[in-house]
Structure 1
């Protein structure tokens, strides 16, 4: 990221985004990164719930979620140089330092821009979660086999 908060996107990302046009939405994620989604993808995310108005009328948690979703999102166009500009308040939110090192991670529906140290911590959490999930799956499988053997003995 340069001193003005501009991040150059890779040719592959630009090619993927070009299929949807050059309009994107930047969105601050609770995990501490800034997501960049093609505008069409973001709109699909926003309108995924068919009963949004009903839920908003009944749930303070839902209204807060919608408020965060709207307040921490902004539209922009990818520049002719293939860059997006991260607004100062988004940089502060995500801990992105001007002229600092960032990680641009592809996430299938867009990209996420992370501070390098936060990205390492996120990777650690992801690997720990995958390991714990795998251990739980193995334990459940073993318990299933033990139960099957007990049933066979009866």
Structure 2
């Protein structure tokens, strides 16, 4: 996890340790829990294929598929390791222009978070790991 600064064009520099996962092209899209998700082209295609299969089996809605597809955009990583986050994705994630963001490696993908939102999810996750209060307020 690293804090980074969004520039005036909506670009953020990805940490060098994450760039090798993506290659020169990647996909940005609306992630779960209000973040911006970044996947390699191959990982994005796998996720899209899986979602299509889940819709066919009735495990996910066509509305979810539409929202996923509509939010996705192919992005190039420039020579400085930056990707541009569209105004729509920034709005979805609550990221203000020229603000700080959290760039997080999440096992098989990268997430970009508005710092306060990430703090809430990080606290909830830590509480679950330690057996403390979960998001619903109940003890495990």
Q: TM-score, normalised by structure 2?
A: 0.81
Task: Give the corresponding residue for 1:10.
Answer: 15
Per-residue CA deviation, residues 111-148 of structure 1 (Å, 9 max, x unaligned), is 10001111101111112233258x64xxxxxxxxxxxx
Distance 2:124 2:95 in 1: 20
Q: TM-score, normalised by structure 1?
A: 0.75
The alpha-carbon distance between structure 1 residues 82 and 129, as it changes in their structure 2 partners (threshold 3 A), is same
The alpha-carbon distance between structure 1 residues 95 and 45, as it changes in their structure 2 partners (threshold 3 A), is same
Distance 1:109 1:115 in 2: 20
1:35 to 11, 34, 37: 37
Compare CA radii of gyration and give the structure with the larger one: 1
Distance 2:74 2:66 in 1: 16
The 4+ residue runs of structure 1 with deviation greater than 4 A are 49-53
The alpha-carbon distance between structure 1 residues 50 and 31, as it changes in their structure 2 partners (threshold 3 A), is closer
Between Structure 1 and Structure 2, the one with more strand by share is 2
Find out whether 1:114 has 2:88 as its counterpart. Answer: no
Distance 2:61 2:43 in 1: 21
Task: Give the corresponding residue for 1:150.
Answer: none
Per-residue CA deviation, residues 84-135 of structure 1 (Å, 9 max, x unaligned), is 00000110110111110100000122210001111101111112233258x6
Q: What is the alpha-carbon root mean square deviation over aligned residues?
A: 2.2
Distance 2:30 2:52 in 1: 24
Between Structure 1 and Structure 2, the one with more helix by share is 1
